[in-house]
Amino acid sequence: MDLLRERLIECGWKDEMKALCRAFMKKKGRSNVTVDDLVHVITPKGRASIPDSIKAELLQRIRAFLVQASV
Amino acid sequence: MSSTINHLHHHHRIDGQISPLTSSCPHLADFRSRNGAKPFRALQDCLRVKPPGGRAGIRREPSEVPRCAACGDSSPSRLYACVACAAVFCHAPSGGPSHASAHAASMPLGGHEIAVDVDRAELFCCACRDQIYDRDFDAAVVLCQSAALKSAITVQSSGNPENMRKRRRVDYRPWSPDVRERLLMDNGSSVLDCEIDRPRGLRGLNNLGNTCFMNSVLQALLHTPPLRDYFLSDRHNRYYCQLKNANGMIKGVKLCLACDVDAMFSAVFSGDRKPYSPAKFLYSWWQHASNLASYDQQDAHEFFISMLDGIHENVERDRGKRHGDCCIAHRVFSGILRSDVMCMACGFTSTTYDPCVDISLDLEPHQVTAHGKTSAKSHPSSNSEANGFSSTQIPTTSTLIGCLDRFTRPERLGSDQKFFCQQCQVSQESLKQMSIRKLPLVSCFHIKRFEHSHTRKMSRKVDRYLQFPFSLDMAPYLSSSILRSRFGNRVFSFEGDDGDDVAANEMSSEFELFAVVTHSGKLDAGHYVTYLRLSNQWYKCDDAWITRVNENVVRAAQGYMMFYVQKMLYYRASAQVCPS
């Protein structure tokens, strides 16, 4: 999990999500937003915008772990 | 959520934004009144900090894997533990099932509304379905996280933090002139001629042979408010300059760059509108920077640094001077950067402070869209937020704010850049983070548009457009804010070791843009132009030609060096009033 977090910070994904959250809060007004709203709005965009290189790296690691664990 | 202002009227900062301590959740207040003086005592033993320098979480046993008590799920991203009964439940955002809310509702006598996020140690109210903040809880978490980190401060630079703490504050005394002073003022002043067409101090600079790199920077400096005020109030008088006579004999020539700057200020602000030729200054600067003395085009940023250095060099060497008090150049431009390097194995953090006269920023690399295609917007587009949300595209315009975010982001020093950790006594992989400990009066941001590659023996210029704001708040990049953000979302007043610097920074982190130096053309055959903001009008200074331009022209320009002055020192009078 830590590796994923690090990669997402490195590629700027976290900053982009932060910017999207800020924009959303500006639109709605600071007092009218709950964590639920934010998560609801941000999640689909976040899932869609993960760079392929990160997906590939993590899949590769999971595969390697499964192979090594099944032996 | 209710938004009543708390009686205490506390102002605190979350991520650099001041906000009144509003919206105390009624359920939290209820919980606190039920559970006495230390309502979160039980949680304290369950606080686990993932080393090193990691997030704080809540676990009953160190190796516990939390699961929702209702559905047995341990995979949802947010699991909450009820503070009253320690049961763990999952919570999905609006619309989905929330076992946490169900749990709160299922208790007829109430008291189970407050829960804590098990992975982030942040409080949550299941009834209000939103995050809440409590001072005592956050204080306990911060204490726990700080205990897990061991840090040392090493001061490697000439600026010793000890000296900074001894800055004395002078009490403010308001002044108004008495009769004698008023008489003096009336006799000694003359009415300024009406300046409708052009403000005083705007004067073209003749190009003396590829000297646009110098002219552009000079125009910016001639209108840097603290610098302009210093020279125009005769703080460095070229006729009585002791330094020139004492220090500056180089090859039989008396040299003091500040004297030549003083001469330039007098000429430019004299009211004469004919373009001025800074030949004497150029000659003096050539004496100082003899390796750059030629009629070739030079780099404007390099000239800027060299000029500040020239003004500084001629000052008496006084070791005891506080940071920035050595010369006017440093008094105006010098700030302090803080660099933290944290060992990833043991958490030991080494901190260094370095003075700097500007900040050089890398342009962001090409952004990647969801479909894996690279895209780089090279034309000015409106701010990404205004475009609304498109489902697949990420905003790709480079912004100055983005560059500053990247500058202060924690950066991993990989296996080829291992740092020697004093605690582990071996080179380890580490995490490096920059922040600004002390803001200068004037911040100069230099965008690294010229890439010189030694390996490929070529240089190139990056033309990508960079959006920059006219007003800039530097608060999120201060050391105090960066340090605070390491602890997550907390309501906690951090006592910095900074003392005076923190107070000074927090009063004056807002900056206004007043000059932009732009470069157009190729690496070796280009032209520098400066845009100046005077009385909220923008003027284009292209060597000897000064023209008034619309602010949109400036917004669309390709910024190379941007000069921001602290808002307190900037007069934004919107129109000149002409005495009738």
B282-312 burial code (b ≥16 CB/10 A, e <16): bebbebbbeeeeeeebbbbbebbbbbbbbbb
Q: How far apart are the first and last CA of chain A?
A: 24
Residue B403 bears catalytic tag: no
Question: Closest Cα of chain B to A1: distance in Å?
Answer: 12
pLDDT at B21 over 90: no
pLDDT at B312 over 50: yes
Q: Would you state the structure tokens that stand for residue B236, as one six-digit string? A: 């460095």
Residue B213, number of CB atoms within 10 A of its CB: 23
pLDDT value at residue B491? 73
- Is A55 part of the contact surface with chain B (CB cutoff 8 Å)? no
- Is B364 part of the contact surface with chain A (CB cutoff 8 Å)? yes
* Facing B130 at nearest CB: one of A30, A34, A48: A34
* Facing A35 at nearest CB: one of B3, B130, B367: B130
pLDDT at B73 over 90: no
> What confidence tens digit (pLDDT) does each residue in B469-507 have?
999 999 999 988 888 888 777 777 665 545 556 566 666
Average pLDDT over residues B460-476: 90
pLDDT value at residue B553? 94
Whether B31 contacts B39, CB under 8 Å: yes
Q: Would you state the structure tokens that stand for residue B121, as one six-digit string? A: 């140690």
The number of C-alpha atoms within 13 Å of B10 and in the hemisphere containing its C-beta is 13
Nearest CA in chain B to A47: B370
More confident position, B576 or B494: B494
Whether B534 contacts B199, CB under 8 Å: yes
- Is A26 part of the contact surface with chain B (CB cutoff 8 Å)? yes
> What confidence tens digit (pLDDT) does each residue in A24-57 have?
888 888 777 887 788 888 888 888 888 888 899 8
**A contact test, residue of B3, B91, B383, B385 with most A CBs within 10 A:** B385
- Is A17 part of the contact surface with chain B (CB cutoff 8 Å)? no
Percent of chain B with pLDDT over 90: 28
Average pLDDT over residues B29-54: 74
* Facing A31 at nearest CB: one of B1, B128, B369: B1
B148-170 burial code (b ≥16 CB/10 A, e <16): bbeeeeeeeeebebeebeeeeee
**Contact flag B23-A31 (C-beta cutoff 8 Å):** yes
pLDDT value at residue B500? 56
Three-state SS at B32? helix
**Contact flag B385-A23 (C-beta cutoff 8 Å):** yes
Whether B467 contacts B556, CB under 8 Å: no
Question: Closest Cα of chain A to B440: distance in Å?
Answer: 26
For the ranges B308-317, B472-481, B568-577, the maximum mean pLDDT occurs at B472-481
Question: Closest Cα of chain A to B502: distance in Å?
Answer: 26
**Contact flag A6-B412 (C-beta cutoff 8 Å):** yes
The secondary structure element, H or E, covering residue A18 is helix A13-28
Q: Under 8 Å CB-to-CB from B502, ≥6 apart: which residues?
A: B480, B496
Average pLDDT over residues B540-547: 94
> What confidence tens digit (pLDDT) does each residue in B352-391 have?
999 999 999 988 765 544 443 344 333 333 333 333 333 3
pLDDT value at residue B393? 39
pLDDT value at residue A66? 92
* Facing B394 at nearest CB: one of A16, A37, A39: A16
The band of B100, judged by pLDDT with boundaries at 50, 70 and 90, is confident
Rounded-to-integer distance, Cα B542 and Cα B529, Å: 5
Instruction: Note the helical H segments in B387-519.
Output: 400-407, 479-485, 500-507
pLDDT value at residue B167? 59
B349-356 vs B151-153, strand pairing mode? parallel
pLDDT value at residue B439? 92
Query: B187: which DSSP letter?
Result: H
pLDDT value at residue B579? 38
- Is B185 part of the contact surface with chain A (CB cutoff 8 Å)? no
Bridge partners, residue B351, by sequence: B153, B340
**Contact flag B130-A43 (C-beta cutoff 8 Å):** no
Q: Under 8 Å CB-to-CB from B391, ≥6 apart: which residues?
A: A44, A45, A48
Query: In chain A, what residues touch B131 (CB-CB under 8 Å)?
Result: 34-35
Query: In chain A, what residues touch B409 (CB-CB under 8 Å)?
Result: 9, 15
Bridge partners, residue B354, by sequence: B337
Three-state SS at B442? strand
The band of B200, judged by pLDDT with boundaries at 50, 70 and 90, is confident
Q: What is the mean pLDDT of chain B?
A: 77
Minimal CA–CA distance to B309: which of B360, B267, B356? B356
Query: In chain A, what residues touch B367 (CB-CB under 8 Å)?
Result: 12
pLDDT at B114 over 50: yes
Percent of chain A with pLDDT over 90: 8
Residue B527 bears catalytic tag: yes
Query: In chain A, what residues touch B412 (CB-CB under 8 Å)?
Result: 6, 10
**Contact flag A43-B93 (C-beta cutoff 8 Å):** yes
For the ranges B81-90, B416-425, B499-508, B516-525, the maximum mean pLDDT occurs at B516-525
Rounded-to-integer distance, Cα B218 and Cα A44, Å: 50
Nearest CA in chain A to B394: A49
**Contact flag A36-B130 (C-beta cutoff 8 Å):** yes
- Is B372 part of the contact surface with chain A (CB cutoff 8 Å)? yes
**Contact flag B389-A45 (C-beta cutoff 8 Å):** yes
Rounded-to-integer distance, Cα B293 and Cα B210, Å: 12
- Is B551 part of the contact surface with chain A (CB cutoff 8 Å)? no
pLDDT value at residue B169? 72
The band of B41, judged by pLDDT with boundaries at 50, 70 and 90, is confident
pLDDT value at residue B197? 65
CA triple B479-B485-B487, angle to 5 deg: 120
Instruction: Note the helical H segments in B400-451.
Output: 400-407
pTM: 0.70
Give the lowest-confidence range in B133-147, B273-287, B439-453.
Answer: B133-147
- Is B362 part of the contact surface with chain A (CB cutoff 8 Å)? no
Whether B517 contacts B47, CB under 8 Å: no
Q: For tokens 């590829």, what's the residue?
A: B210
- Is B65 part of the contact surface with chain A (CB cutoff 8 Å)? no
pLDDT value at residue B477? 93
Query: In chain A, what residues touch B385 (CB-CB under 8 Å)?
Result: 19, 22-23, 26
Nearest CA in chain A to B4: A31
Query: B113: which DSSP letter?
Result: -
Query: In chain A, what residues touch B384 (CB-CB under 8 Å)?
Result: 19, 23
Query: In chain A, what residues touch B22 (CB-CB under 8 Å)?
Result: 31
Average pLDDT over residues B226-240: 89
Count how many pairs of residues, chain A against chain B, have C-beta atoms within 8 Å. Answer: 66
pLDDT value at residue B574? 44
Q: Would you state the structure tokens that stand for residue A19, as one six-digit string? A: 């910017």
- Is A16 part of the contact surface with chain B (CB cutoff 8 Å)? yes
Query: In chain A, what residues touch B364 (CB-CB under 8 Å)?
Result: 12
Helix and strand totals (H; E) in chain A: 4, 0
- Is A66 part of the contact surface with chain B (CB cutoff 8 Å)? no
CA distances to B226, B256, B271, B447 from B360, rounded to whole Å, are: 22, 28, 35, 6
List the catalytic residue out of B46, B90, B212, B421. B212
Query: B477: which DSSP letter?
Result: G
Percent of chain B with pLDDT over 70: 74
Q: Is B349 exposed, middle or buried (0-12, 13-18, 19+ CB in 10 A)?
A: buried
- Is B382 part of the contact surface with chain A (CB cutoff 8 Å)? no
- Is B3 part of the contact surface with chain A (CB cutoff 8 Å)? yes
pLDDT at B2 over 90: no
Q: Which long-range contacts (C-beta less than 8 Å, at least 24 apart) are formed by B207-210?
A: B207/B543, B207/B544, B208/B277, B208/B278, B208/B279, B208/B282, B209/B295, B210/B295, B210/B296, B210/B297, B210/B298
Instruction: Note the helical H segments in B129-256.
Output: 135-148, 161-165, 179-188, 212-222, 225-232, 242-246
